[in-house]
Every structure is written in structure tokens, then in C-alpha cells.
Structure 1
Amino acid sequence: MPRPRKWRKVCCLPENKRFGPLNASIKQESFIAMTVDEYETIRLIDLEGLIQEECADKMNIARTTVQRIYNDARKKLAESLVNGKALMIEGGDYKLCDGDEKTCGSGSCRKHRCGRGLREEAKKTDANQKEDDH
């Protein structure tokens, strides 16, 4: 019996789940399926600039697992770009983080960053209201 898969921690779901060429009709069979955890490795490594070990810590998985997921994701991106196929992000073995964990504080967690930004805006609004009251 195979070992059960470990859940990968993901900051938040992508805002857009479908990407593809604008000049072609997209058929369902021409989609390339990328999992949410593959998307998260691309986001953390390529966009946030983390190394694979840091990415592994954020996602609560082994570095070798991150390496495999990242390689699979890059291959799917390349196939989509080169062959003009649409990319659809869905599924995978993941759990969404709540943004309150200790590992979420470095700035690469979008949920934590958004929450912090909202709290900072609320503080500014409160300060402005106090100044207006005086």
C-alpha cells in the first residue's frame, strides 16, 4: 500500500485559474492541467525569489518534493507557451494557510500581507479620524 500523500500548504488560490492564447479557439482537450501546489511553487520560487529549501519550509514538504513539483510545473508552463495550449489551475493535494502561522511572516504569504495591509489601513483611518475629531 502506498504512503498517503502529505498535504502541501498553499498561501491562497490563484485569482485567475485559466490562461491561454488570445488568438485561438480553446477546446477542452487542449487544456494543460496545473495543480494548485504546482502554481504555489512557481509563485514562491520564481515570483517571490525563494530558494527551494525556503519554499519547502513554507509549504511544509521536503525540498526534493518541491524540486519535483517545480520541475513538473515549469514543463507545463513551457508546453502551454510553446504549443499554444491553455493552462488551467485546479486540484492537487493542498490546504490553504490561515495567514497567522509563524512561517507566514516573511512577506511571501499573500494572505498575511493582505491582512497586514488591511490592518495598517485601518490604523491610518483611525488616526485620521482622531485628528479630525480634534
Structure 2
Amino acid sequence: MVLGAGREPTTSAVVGDIIEAACKIGNHSPALMPRNGPELKVKPIGELRSRYYVRLEVADHPGVLAQIAQLLGDGQISIAAVLQRDTHPETDSAEIVITTHPAREDSMQMALRRMENLSQVKKVSNTLRIEE
């Protein structure tokens, strides 16, 4: 059995690293990690292309999925898969999960805002980027 350094030595090392980093930031010292290679430009977030996972709570009525698909299509967002997970007769609602092919972040955000404005969409429960 191998024992670690223990709580106090480990805490001391972590606190020491934090203090050193804070001092370098406060003194405008060079970065802690050396730069290797050319500077990289950061893309605006709206230009990011990613697949997405979207979970919605919607009214359990015919045509709702068609309206959602139309909004995605209007934003040049292609659907990879759709799954209607559960229906809730007591609330007349259903849960829909959609995954997309790679799409622009700004297009996805616009489509989500439009979905939230549909009377048949009760809630956009979750949206995640799918990192591959």
C-alpha cells in the first residue's frame, strides 16, 4: 500500500502554487507556461461548429415535431436523430430529444430562441454541445 503526502503537505503545495500564480498575474510577469509556436486566434463563439443534443418538453399534439424541424431547417441545422422519450397524459406533454449534425452556434441559439417562443414548446429542458 502506498500512502500519499497527506492533507497538510498537499494543501500547502496547492496554496503555494496559487500564491505564486497570483503574484505573477499581479506583477504582469510572463505566463506560467511558455508559448510554443505562433499565437492562435480565438474564433467568435457564434462561428463554432458542433453537434448538439436538445431535450424539449412539448405539447403532445400532431405537428409539433414538424414545427421544430422547420425552425432547425430554417437555420441550416440538420437533424441526426429524434427520439420521443416519454408522454405524460396528465399534462398533455411529451419529451423529445434531438441530436443534430454539426451546425453553427449562432444558428443553434437562434433556433432555440424561436423554439421557446412556440406555444407548443413548454420548455427547452437541456441543450448540450456534443464534443467529439
TM-score range, shorter chain: under 0.3
Structure ID, larger Rg: 2
Higher relative contact order by CA 8 Å / sep ≥ 6: 1 or 2? 1
Structure that is richer in helix per residue: 1
Structure with greater strand percent: 2
**TM-score calculated relative to the size of structure 2:** 0.23
